[in-house]
Each structure stands twice: as structure tokens, then as C-alpha cells.
Amino acid sequence: MDFTRVELGNLSSSNFPIAVFCTASIIILVAVHFFYCNFSSRGKLVNKFGGPAYVPVIGSFIALTNLAETLLDWKEQINFLAGENPTLADAFHRGARIAFMPGVIPKYQSSLIWSLSGYAKEWEEIKIVMKQSISKSFIQKKMKEWKNNANNGNLPKKIKYANILYTKWTDEEEIFYQLISIIGASVDSTESVLCMALLHLAKHPVIQETAYEEAKSVIGTDINVFLSFDDIRRLTYVEMVLKETMRIIPPIAALARNIGQDLDLGDGYTIPKDTSVFINLNMMHHNPKYFPNPDQFIPERFLPENVGKRHPYAYIPFSHGPRNCIGKKYAMMEMKLALAKILFKYEVTTSMRNIENLEYESSPFTFAKDDKWKNQRKILSPGLSASMHPEFLTAFHTHLPNLMEVLEEKCKIGGEFNPDNLFGKFAMGVAFETMFDWDVPLNFFQHDLALQYDMFVNGTYAAFQPAIQPKFQIPLMWRFFGYGAGFQKLVNFMEIYFPKEFLKGKMDEWKSYEKNAALPKRMKYANLLYTKWTKEELVTCQLYTILTGAVDSTDSVLCVALIQLAKFKEVQTNAYLEARRVIGLDYDNTLSIADINKLKYIEMVIKESMRRISPTPVLTRKVGEDLNLG
């Protein structure tokens, strides 16, 4: 299914994407900022915040309250700070965070890690709360009402966002996710920008005073005054404050696009058609060519005379062009009004000295920081070291006949065949015996085990889709396309071989060995995990990770190597002659480590295969300190 734009007329001057959550303009949202500000009342007004206020709450409640009434057309005015509504607000707030976790933290692009970390369960719980607010019966009722209005020619000239969906869409589930998507996008962007604007104003009292004076001149003496569009347009300095806030820390960290045709960048560089690219807004917005002293907070950058000197694409917090954010004007109007009213009533201060002191929502998660990854690697590396090679050779010669038997059958049939997965089944059998300490050799070429292997492969394919196609970094999209069901096969596979009771028993057993100083000198990979790790979920994740690495890389590299050898007969002949010299006349000859070390040319063939087509297309790393590239 190709998610392209369709005509909806009344919703926007540009075409509207069939699914908001699959447009690249909201693929990645910046993480929430945790900080507190002091709100001191101006004049005789009472400080209802009573001391330090948790700023993100303010933005999200403002956004949700306005959204419910304007875009969703809920008839009753909702106070998201009262009754059961904070629970509803919290559900939308947490839902927006969880849905975009894979785009913020790369490790959660693996759906297995995303699930094992508890986010899948939390998302299901959040979805229950959401569906209580936007139930299927409610959507069906609204669809019937608005389709009748359309059929009878009773549609108003101006139709709210949700009512357009009820009129034009036919699938209740799709409408539900559309509504959830617009809520998530609206709440998160409004919240993060207002949070950062208040922090910058707290750090720059002169700028805050200028914005306050403008707000006072527009609002007058009564904070409850109803501001018109013309009034809001007069908040030009407040608008510049918001724009400068979005320049320094964009509400969207990056934009993702799929290249529709070969794109010539000049100087011999071409981006091929169908390539997924990411546009780093933070880097663009800090380009000193367009924004001198880019780390300084200077709202005057957005005076008309300064904007006119810049390239129109130098600053694009809402993206630009036909796929820009359809809620751009709505968001700016909402944020200007909210910020002006807050500044009119409160003076904001903060004890934070530097912007670098901000803590992000991504920081508490369980990635290995500092030297933790080194310690983990030190613990686990012996399980894959040279000391384990003799056991590997034993397992290799145990499982090789299973592979050769299948290849013999293929050769008897004749013709071409796809070797994909043959080497993966072989590698999985070896992995279970060498790394997982399995008591009985497993032949994954046998029918029942072959079906289980397919569960693993299909589930892994689904789990890694977010890393291959950016649109699937959003769990909603991932599940909508059926990858959630595919991933469940992987979960089932892991439960067959590594159920929680089995892992707990193994962990108790090996921790007992350690306690009694009875650990062997050489320990297999899984036994090191059972000894040193304390949580079954993390052990499962580690076992899956190493199994995927062993199976998928072996399968892909050997397939590519065979294709290359089939294309280059002379190279194949050289590799064959070397194999004959080392193996000798007896095909069943058991090779030693020294024999394998003699296979120099074959090693070069494998290395060249990995150079031509890498088993891992990219590596991701986090730079721990400033890195000078010269």
C-alpha cells in the first residue's frame, strides 16, 4: 500500500496525507525536557502554582484542552486538570512519548527490545484509556452523522478536522489512529516549544520583560479578555521568541524523506532513487552562515528584514513544501496566545545556569553508559573466544552433514535454487550447541524445527523493519502493516526455547555454582549470562541478540560469497584448489584449528564478499566527547 496524499479540500490548502503518522514531517519528535521554573505573580495576582512548577505539564494541558474543542469537535469543554481527566491527559501524554521512542532512541527500533523494556505493555494499557475516550461506537455514530450530512447536502462550509475524517474515511480503526496521531503531534510539539520558551525567557530577563510589555499592551488590564486574530497577530515579539526557541531546540529533531528520483547533489554525489534520508534540523538551525552566534538566544533574528536575507529553507521547524506540517498556523496561534497570557500573569525564573543542564526523557533508559558496556563485554567475550574453538569444531562437524544432505538433494533435482536460510539453519544449530549449552543437537532442517526457524526469521524481519524503513519507527504504523503479528512469531520462538521458568532455573543453577566456587574455567556464552545477569528479560534480550548476529550474518555472508564465486569462475577454482589441499582426499576428514588457519584464500573471498555487501549496512555510535574532524 502506498501512503500518498489524497484530496480533502477543506482540511488544508495543501493535500492531506492519508495517515498523519506516516508523513515524514512528524517522524521524530525531540524528547521531553525535565526542568522546573519558579512562577512569581505580577502585581496583586495570586501565584496559583505555589512555587516551582513542572513546566511540561502546562504545555500539554493547554494543547489538549484546545485540541479537544477545536480539532476534535468535542461538544463539552474539558478541564484536563480536574476529575478523571488528568488520567486521560496523562494517557495521551505518555502515548505520544512511547509511540515515538524508536525514533528518539535507536535501540527501541528493535521491537523485541521495545517490548521487553515494557513499552509494548504500557502502550496497550494507554490505548485502552484512549479507546474509552474515542470509542468505536462513538466513531461509528459520528461517521453516520457526518456521512448523512454529506449525502443531504448539509455540510457546513468550515469543517473541523475530526468531522472531515468522519465524512471522508470509511474505516473506524483508521480514524481512531488518525485522531490519536493528531493528538500526539499537537500535544508534544506545543508542549516542548512552550517549555523551552519559558526556560529561555527565565534565563534572559531582558527578553522576558520585552515580551511581557508586548503581552500587556495587547491584553490590556484584564487577563480574561478574549483576544481576536488581529490581537494575536500583534504579538510579533512573542512570535519571534517562539521561533528562536524552535531554532535552538527544534520540536522535531529530524525530517525523514524518501527520494522519488535520483538526486544530483553536484561534485559527483548522487542520492539514488528510493533512498531514505534524514534532514538534521538541529544542524541546519545552527548553521553560522545563516545564524551568526547560533548558540545565543536572539529573537531579533526573526525581524522581517533579517528573515528576508536568509534562504527560505534555512529555518524549517514545521518542515516546508507540500508535506509541511498542516497544523503550523494552528500551533503558532495557540502558542502565542498561551505564552502571552502566562507572561502577562507571571514572571518566570530558574536556577538552571546552562542549557546543557537540561535532562532529557531519553537519559534514564537502560543503555550502557560510561564503562558499563566495557564491563559487559569483558564478562561475555570469553564465551566467544578462541578457548571455545574446539567445542565449535565439534558442533560444526555434527551439523555440517545436515546442511550437505539438503544441498545434495537440491543438486539431484537440478536447476537453480535460492540458498537463503540454508546456512542460517546450519548456523542456528551450531549456535545452540556452542553458545547456549544445549544438551541435544538440534537439526533445524527437520520439518518441525524448520517451522520454528521460520518463526524466528519472520519475527526478526518484522523486528528490524523500523531500522530499514523510517515510517515503521512508529509502532502504530509497524502494527498497522502486520509486523506486530510477525513479531509475535519471534516472541513465540523465544518462549519455546527460553521460557521464563527455564531461564530462572538456569540462573539459579549457575549462580549457585559461582557461590560455591564451582564454576568451570571455560564457560559458554549463555552460562555467563545466567551467572552474571539478574533479570530474565535482559537475558532473553541478550540471547536473541547473539542468536540473530550468529544466524543472520552467517547466512547472508555465505549466500553472497557463493553468488560471487558463481560469477567469477577463476576465483572459485582457486578457492576449490585450496580447499582440496587442506581437506585432502577424505571429505569427512575432521579439520583442526591449524587446518582452518590454512584456508587463507577462502578467508579473502569471505572478506571481499563482506566488503562488496556488508552484513551490517551501518553502525551507530554515540560520541562521548567533542570530536574534532579537522
**What's the pLDDT tens digit per position in 374-383?**
666 676 677 6
* Amino acid code (one letter) for 610: M
Burial 359-392 (b: 16+ CB within 10 A, else e): eebeeeeeeeeeeeeeeeeeebebbbeeebeeeb
Rounded Cα–Cα distance for residues 311 and 296 (Å): 20
Say if CB 185 and CB 168 are below 8 A apart.
no
Is residue 271's pLDDT more than 50? yes
Mean pLDDT of the chain: 76
Rounded Cα–Cα distance for residues 455 and 81 (Å): 46
Q: Report the range out of 131-145, 458-472, 497-511 with the highest average pLDDT.
A: 497-511
Q: For 47-61, 73-87, 190-204, 519-533, which range has the lowest pLDDT when averaged over its residues? A: 47-61
Rounded Cα–Cα distance for residues 215 and 208 (Å): 10
Strands annotated E in 176-259: 254-258
φ, ψ of residue 217 to 5 degrees: the values are -70, -30
User: What are the helix (H) ranges across 262-388?
Assistant: 281-285, 304-307, 328-345, 372-380
Count of C-beta atoms within a 10 Å radius of residue 94? 16
pTM summary value: 0.53
pLDDT tens-digit map of 433-479: 888 878 788 888 888 888 888 888 888 888 778 767 767 777 777 77
What does the pLDDT read at residue 89? 61
Q: Is 325 assigned to a binding site? A: yes
pLDDT band at 308 (very low <50, low <70, confident <90, very high): very high
Assigned fold of 5-360: Cytochrome p450 (1.10.630)
* Section 139-167 average pLDDT: 81
- C-alpha cell of 140? 461509528
What does the pLDDT read at residue 61? 47
What does the pLDDT read at residue 14? 24
The domains of the chain are located at 5-360, 384-553
Say if CB 615 and CB 557 are below 8 A apart.
yes
pLDDT tens-digit map of 33-92: 334 445 555 543 333 333 333 344 444 445 555 555 565 666 554 444 444 444 566 666
